[in-house]
Structure 1
Amino acid sequence: LIYRATPQWFVSMDKAGLKNDAMAAIDGVSWVPAWGKQRIQGMLSQSPDWCISRQRTWGVPITLFVHKETYELHPQTQTLIAQVADLIEEKGIDAWYDLDAATLLGDDAAHYDKVTDTLDVWFDSGVTHAAVLARRKDLDRYPADLYLEGSDQHRGWFQSSLKTGIAIHGKAPYKQVLTHGFTVDAKGYKMSKSMGNVIAPQQVMDQLGADILRLWVSATDYSAEMSVSQDILKRTADSYRRIRNTAKFLLSNLSGFDPAQHLVPHSEMIALDQWVVDRARGLQEEIAGHYETYSFLQVYQKVHGFCSLDLGGFYLDVIKDRQYTTPADSLARRSCQTALYHIAEALCRWVAPILSFTADEIWEHIPGERDKTVLWESWYEGLEALPADAPISREQWQQLLQTRVAVNKQLEEVRSQGLIKGSLSAEVTLFAEPDLAKLLSSLDDELRFVLITSEARVKPLAEAGEQSAETEMAGLRVAVAASSHGKCERCWHHRPDLGVDPAHPALCGRCVTNISGSGEVRLYA
């Protein structure tokens, strides 16, 4: 190798204090993840004077004229650069190379050399804040809200943009910088055609849909390397189906519901419905906060958890009885539909930035008048907090959820022994410590709807005998027994009042009330 010194163009990092100013500007930028700040500080602190010239036959030309003897720039350099820019805009980049210096300099051309060097490509990308933001009316702002790129750009684009921004405007060209890792296979290997582990995005979209690809990105910790494989994408598709199926359940149970006519005021809703709307309200605040900090993994986990646990594992299970057995226009059913409507409105907005196509599909089927697309909307404002005088507080609902989990485990154990077929063929007795017993007893007959059993009794813990089983919940023992009563063919509950009405020998008392009377009254569940 032969090393030789050649004339080059440099930007001094120290002469005008550019490095110090850039280092100071770093503190005013939000770096996501936070370690990006230390990374660029370390690289910038070691940055030498920036060589911005290259000797290539392609690229953006350095449009300068240099005196042949003194090497000084032409005294009209600023004007000449503007003239050359107009010429290039009219005739293309080759206009500089084809240009006869005398065209612009006249007789001075004999004393000046036309520079044939090109700009460093990092300088090209480093001035995008001028080339893009300043030249577009809809983006005419400085600094930009966000710069987004891979972790290698702390040495490249992020740094070159910072230097040019400070040099031109005196402040950083961005308010926030987000860094993401690189895509690797399931074993952590870099994707390579020779290794055969490349997964093409278009192939994923063709097979699974664009929303699955979007969901995979959101469900991945982008601050590190992001693993992807067919198995990972299949698991992502399963998660997607959970969210989509939840939305389908919400929409299918809003049949015949018109929010303009049937929306129940929050203060009149059944206690369980008030709770789930309050739960959605609290979750929306968390989700909005996560979007603000680009914590898409947290958004995914919150939404998926809400669909799987709060809704699929509890609320939607409990309301099926009320939704399918109470009169169509009863408060019990309309209250439930009101809650479903509020959740659908909110859920659609939560997933819109990620599952854009799915969100628009949901949006089209939510009852009521609305704009063309959910992507024009802001967060849903119809979610209300649990009233201060609510009969059951948030903390008490958490206790009821824990109780239900404990009871379910005992029901499953008894079912696995072949003693019952399902939870509705069972009667449960809950032996609880005083405070829990008081809460459970306050639900009266509606406790069985929360537990989805045909009967639920509450007794003091001290009365628990050997027939009861200890649970993971402190202060609670549970006894499960198969119901000895007949099964109502309408609600499937086993009730002692089955056939009490001779006109409906196969129905229980509440079903008779629901089909031929005023309908049952629900307060809690």
Structure 2
Amino acid sequence: KPVIFRATMQWFMDIQRYKELALKAVREVQWIPEWGEIRISSMIRERPDWCLSRQRVWGVPIPAFYCRSCGQVVLDPKVIRHIAGLVREQGTDVWFEREAKDLLPKGFKCPKCGSEEFEKESAILDVWFDSGCSHAAVLESHPDLTWPADLYLEGHDQHRGWFQVSLWTALATKGKPPYKAVLTHGFFVDESGRKMSKSLGTGLSPMVLCERFGADVLRLWVAALDFREDMRVSERILEQIAESYRRIRNTLRFVLGNLYDFDPERHLIPFGQRRALDRYASLRLQRLVQRVQKAFDEYEFHTVYHSIHEFCVTFLSAFYLDVLKDRLYIPLPDDPARRSAQSTLFEIAVTLPVILSPILSFTAEEAWAHLPDFKGKPESVQICDWPEARADYLDPSLEAQFEVYLKVREALLKAVEGLRERKVVRQPQECSVSLFASPGLLSQLRKIPLEELREILQVSLLAEVAPLSEAPPEAVPAEELEGLKLLVQKAPGRKCERCWMVSETVGSDPEWPDVCLRCVKILKAMGISP
């Protein structure tokens, strides 16, 4: 049978009246991503008038009445407020349960003919009108909230839906947009890019995933995504994120584990008195705080994840913490060099859980609970003040120094790799290295004590740091750094069983035949006998 189109009386919002205002308002809003502004502006230009009424048996009523005598339509603000009061007291059903005379204010008459006989409007409001008024219903009814909203967040299909209908109702009632910023995200799809579907077998239950991987892994996965595109999820992808999570967690465990005898009130060494490497690590922490703050402000959550992951895995685990092991495990407990390292580790342990807390909420809380007590320590990481980068730690000259030192280290590791392939050594700790540098580079290398530079390079012996002109023929130019040559050899002596450094002093004390003199002095100071 053919479809019959029938014109009926409906309620409309005159969209044409507000289009220019809407387009102007859209330009005042921050759109994340930026193409959201172009998309909604295009939809506004093409938008027809909004049909507000629907013919359904139940819903939010249109509070209008019709005079039975003259047909006058009554849509009076005083009447609407009166009915709103009834709904507030008795619920929406009061409209359907009562007759018109019982809904109108007592003694109300038709403004045109004076009749007291009325009929209720039978149509209800479009459900999009309900959601379009949510900004008023929520923000204006709670004294602790303010209008407009700081942020509207939904899928990119809502440029045509919630974002737009909210804009129309706000412009009609207040002349301003109901939000300061609008963020849109893609949809979850499977590993192959197909939509999530139970019938296709691609659906995944968040609760099941939480039980298997833990809530923090699921939260980390969400943070790692670029939400502006459709977001892929599968158990394989979550397994990869779980591995990243374990690396971050293990970094926190190492840092906290090496603060077991650290009392911040007694042992904290001021920043300016620490070793250069520890000051550099503190500086890198402040740079991380800056990047994370900027990324959160700009809703770049995947940048937060990648920045923290790179700091924990690449800088801390693969470099700084590995270098520190000798200084943390070998000297006397109160050795200033050890306390210098612990002072920076303490700063990392205080800061990392706080900047992780919006994402790894449970892990951050657990780490905070294991942090050494200090004066004014909040009970929970969730009530800590957000960290601000310390300007006094941000030393550009120190950053420039370590750019050089890390390139030297990179060149050294490449040279060691050649020795390893020839089975001369297995690791840098078995090496002796001499550095020969051009004048500008030489001054950088000599800014810190030779012992501190040796520690950064993780070799047993840094024989010399000399002018480039003194380089022997067998010294190799560094590809990573112009004006540098290295002479890398197997270090003389034997490996100390305690510190694992190769030294010619191993066996010098007959009571300790397998220990270097440095370790012998430490053992005797600790009162340890052979």
Global fold match (TM > 0.5): yes
State the match for 1:456 in structure 2: 462
State the match for 2:136 in structure 1: 130
Q: Which runs of 5+ in 1 are unaligned?
A: 519-525
> Per the alignment, in what secondary structure is the counterpart of residue 372 of structure 1?
coil
Whole-angstrom distance in 2 between the partners of 1:72 and 1:515 = 102
> Per the alignment, in what secondary structure is the counterpart of residue 31 of structure 1?
strand
State the match for 1:7 in structure 2: 9
CA contact (8 A) 1:349 1:379 kept: yes
State the match for 1:299 in structure 2: 304
Q: TM-score, with normalisation over the residues of structure 1? A: 0.92
Deviation at 1:487, TM superposition (A): 1.4
Deviation at 1:183, TM superposition (A): 0.7
Deviation at 1:57, TM superposition (A): 1.8
Whole-angstrom distance in 2 between the partners of 1:384 and 1:326 = 32
Whole-angstrom distance in 2 between the partners of 1:202 and 1:432 = 59
State the match for 1:522 in structure 2: none
What does residue range 38-77 of structure 1 map to in structure 2 within 5 Å? 38-68=38-68, 71-74=71-74, 77=76
CA contact (8 A) 1:431 1:477 kept: yes
Deviation at 1:278, TM superposition (A): 1.2
Deviates more, 1:207-216 or 1:374-383: 374-383
Q: TM-score, with normalisation over the residues of structure 2? A: 0.91
Deviation at 1:48, TM superposition (A): 1.3
Task: Report the RMSD for the aligned CA atoms in angstroms.
Answer: 2.3
Structure 1 residue 277 and structure 2 residue 277: aligned? no
Whole-angstrom distance in 2 between the partners of 1:189 and 1:368 = 50
Deviates more, 1:338-347 or 1:501-510: 501-510
User: Which of 245, 249, 252 lines up with 1:244 in the alignment?
Assistant: 249
Whole-angstrom distance in 1 between the partners of 2:433 and 2:502 = 12
Whole-angstrom distance in 2 between the partners of 1:438 and 1:212 = 47
CA contact (8 A) 1:247 1:344 kept: yes
State the match for 1:377 in structure 2: 384
Deviation at 1:340, TM superposition (A): 0.3
User: Which of 483, 494, 508 lines up with 2:502 in the alignment?
Assistant: 494
The 3 A distance-change label for structure 1 pair 356 and 150 is same
Structure 1 residue 151 and structure 2 residue 156: aligned? yes
The one-letter code sitting in structure 1 at the alignment partner of 2:132 is: G
CA contact (8 A) 1:267 1:387 kept: no
The 3 A distance-change label for structure 1 pair 308 and 274 is same
User: Which of 504, 514, 518 lines up with 1:510 in the alignment?
Assistant: 518
Deviation at 1:110, TM superposition (A): 6.3
State the match for 2:22 in structure 1: 22
State the match for 2:32 in structure 1: 32
The one-letter code sitting in structure 1 at the alignment partner of 2:11 is: W
State the match for 1:79 in structure 2: 78
Structure 1 residue 172 and structure 2 residue 180: aligned? no
The one-letter code sitting in structure 1 at the alignment partner of 2:498 is: R
Deviation at 1:34, TM superposition (A): 0.9
Deviation at 1:447, TM superposition (A): 2.5
CA contact (8 A) 2:259 2:346 kept: yes
Deviates more, 1:445-454 or 1:179-188: 445-454
State the match for 1:341 in structure 2: 346
Pairs aligned (count):
512
The one-letter code sitting in structure 2 at the alignment partner of 1:321 is: D
Deviation at 1:173, TM superposition (A): 0.7
Q: Which runs of 5+ in 2 are unaligned?
A: 110-114
> Per the alignment, in what secondary structure is the counterpart of residue 348 of structure 1?
helix
Whole-angstrom distance in 1 between the partners of 2:385 and 2:20 = 41
CA contact (8 A) 1:363 1:374 kept: yes
Whole-angstrom distance in 2 between the partners of 1:223 and 1:387 = 33
The one-letter code sitting in structure 1 at the alignment partner of 2:61 is: P
The 3 A distance-change label for structure 1 pair 107 and 491 is closer
Deviates more, 1:437-446 or 1:402-411: 437-446
> Per the alignment, in what secondary structure is the counterpart of residue 290 of structure 1?
helix
State the match for 2:484 in structure 1: 476
Whole-angstrom distance in 1 between the partners of 2:242 and 2:207 = 16
The 3 A distance-change label for structure 1 pair 21 and 169 is same
Whole-angstrom distance in 2 between the partners of 1:428 and 1:516 = 30
The 3 A distance-change label for structure 1 pair 94 and 418 is same
Deviates more, 1:268-277 or 1:402-411: 402-411
Whole-angstrom distance in 2 between the partners of 1:436 and 1:107 = 93
What does residue range 418-437 of structure 1 map to in structure 2 within 5 Å? 418-437=423-442
CA contact (8 A) 2:66 2:74 kept: yes
Whole-angstrom distance in 1 between the partners of 2:72 and 2:473 = 101
Whole-angstrom distance in 2 between the partners of 1:222 and 1:354 = 15
CA contact (8 A) 1:277 1:383 kept: no
Whole-angstrom distance in 1 between the partners of 2:186 and 2:362 = 26
Whole-angstrom distance in 1 between the partners of 2:284 and 2:88 = 58
State the match for 2:323 in structure 1: 318
Whole-angstrom distance in 1 between the partners of 2:488 and 2:153 = 57
Percent of matched pairs sharing the same residue: 43
Structure 1 residue 264 and structure 2 residue 280: aligned? no
The 3 A distance-change label for structure 1 pair 261 and 89 is same
Structure 1 residue 100 and structure 2 residue 131: aligned? no
Q: Deviations over 1:176-229 (max 9, x none)?
A: 111111111111111111211112211111111111111111111111111111
The one-letter code sitting in structure 1 at the alignment partner of 2:26 is: I
Structure 1 residue 197 and structure 2 residue 193: aligned? no
Whole-angstrom distance in 1 between the partners of 2:460 and 2:143 = 66
Whole-angstrom distance in 2 between the partners of 1:60 and 1:352 = 41
Deviates more, 1:127-136 or 1:333-342: 127-136
Whole-angstrom distance in 2 between the partners of 1:397 and 1:160 = 55
The one-letter code sitting in structure 1 at the alignment partner of 2:386 is: W
CA contact (8 A) 1:345 1:380 kept: no
Deviation at 1:107, TM superposition (A): 8.5
Q: Deviations over 1:464-505 (max 9, x none)?
A: 534636544333343432233011122111112223344544
CA contact (8 A) 1:290 1:296 kept: yes
Deviation at 1:20, TM superposition (A): 1.7
Q: Deviations over 1:274-300 (max 9, x none)?
A: 111111112211211111111111111
Whole-angstrom distance in 2 between the partners of 1:34 and 1:145 = 17
The one-letter code sitting in structure 2 at the alignment partner of 1:452 is: Q
The one-letter code sitting in structure 2 at the alignment partner of 1:300 is: Y
> Per the alignment, in what secondary structure is the counterpart of residue 183 of structure 2?
strand
State the match for 1:398 in structure 2: 403
The 3 A distance-change label for structure 1 pair 404 and 41 is same
Q: Deviations over 1:44-78 (max 9, x none)?
A: 11111111111112321112112346553327x32
Deviation at 1:97, TM superposition (A): 1.1
The one-letter code sitting in structure 2 at the alignment partner of 1:5 is: A
Whole-angstrom distance in 2 between the partners of 1:355 and 1:113 = 58
Whole-angstrom distance in 1 between the partners of 2:164 and 2:70 = 33
Structure 1 residue 308 and structure 2 residue 313: aligned? yes
CA contact (8 A) 1:12 1:49 kept: yes
Deviation at 1:252, TM superposition (A): 0.3
Whole-angstrom distance in 2 between the partners of 1:175 and 1:107 = 42
> Per the alignment, in what secondary structure is the counterpart of residue 138 of structure 2?
helix
CA contact (8 A) 1:281 1:385 kept: no
> Per the alignment, in what secondary structure is the counterpart of residue 138 of structure 1?
coil
> Per the alignment, in what secondary structure is the counterpart of residue 341 of structure 1?
helix
User: Which of 480, 490, 493 lines up with 1:485 in the alignment?
Assistant: 493
